[in-house]
Amino acid sequence: MSVSLAEPAYVHDLEEHLRVILFEAEEAADAKAAVLLVRGALARGDQAKAAQLAESTQRLSGSRPSDSAVGAAALHVRGLLDRDPAILDRVADRYQIPLTRAGAMEDAGLACAERGRPEDALARLRRAYDLYEGLGDGPAMARVRAELRAAGVRLHHWRRVARPAYGWDSLTDTERRVAELVSSGLSNRQVASQVFLSTHTVAFHLRHIFWKLGVTSRVELARLAARQAPTAG
């Protein structure tokens, strides 16, 4: 999966997030960050960094054998490093969350394409697209369409879903839910219990919400969310 590296601060943010969950998290780790980082390292051709991150994820998995999400992430990064569609298919089956399942399915499709299996690639990328569409993830849908075009597949009948880069409408469904809960006065830990994420991931989302909305505090966020209330939902 292609990852934009035009924002060094964003890459640094992800690396710091992974460092925290690997070495400092007292609760269940958010394994999703490990997969994002390995994808990013591979996208910029840094195989050594990708292997180092994968090794860290494997160690994390070994230290938390009961955490199925970390185990799936460890398998996922192995599939990414080996570009192995069979491993990535197994990972997609293991993930319970639609977004992570879609990501693994997309990775499996790209691995199939690299191995000269266009029909298998198309089937997986279509499935990933359907999952992203169900989540309302416009940027991911656009990315899959671009990947299909690169493979010579043009599906003009697919609905184009555009999401702006900034402002309230730029928020994903998860980001919007986090923003609304934070605006209601809940702490990060309380929000985490509501949306079934770790507190580290809630903080991670909140940083990007602030960036997209151009706010610097929870008070400013609450004011902005209150202005959206009449038109929300």
The two tokens of residue 54 are: 């994968």
Higher pLDDT, 5 or 162: 162
Tokens for 35, please give them. 């997969």
Give per-residue pLDDT as tens, 117-176: 888 888 889 888 888 887 878 888 889 988 888 766 665 544 555 567 678 888 877 888
Greatest mean pLDDT range, 15-29, 177-191, 219-233? 177-191
Q: What is the pTM of this model?
A: 0.59
> Given pLDDT bands bounded at 50, 70 and 90, which one contains residue 187?
very high
Residue 82: half-sphere exposure toward Cβ, Cα within 13 Å: 11
H/E stretch holding 14 = helix 8-23
Q: Which of 25-39, 73-87, 160-174 has the highest mean pLDDT?
A: 73-87
Report the percentage of the chain scoring pLDDT > 70: 79
The 8-class DSSP code of residue 159 comes to P
Tell me, what's the pLDDT at 66?
Answer: 73
Q: Which domains does the chain have, with CATH numbers?
A: 8-150 (1.25.40.10), 168-231 (1.10.10.10)
Question: Which structure tokens are listed for 72?
Answer: 């799936």
Q: Answer yes or no: is pLDDT of 106 > 90.
A: yes
Confidence tier at 3 by pLDDT (50, 70, 90): very low
Q: Per-residue pLDDT for 183 more than 90?
A: yes
Residue 2 confidence (pLDDT): 44
Residue 153's pLDDT is what?
64
pLDDT at 83: 92
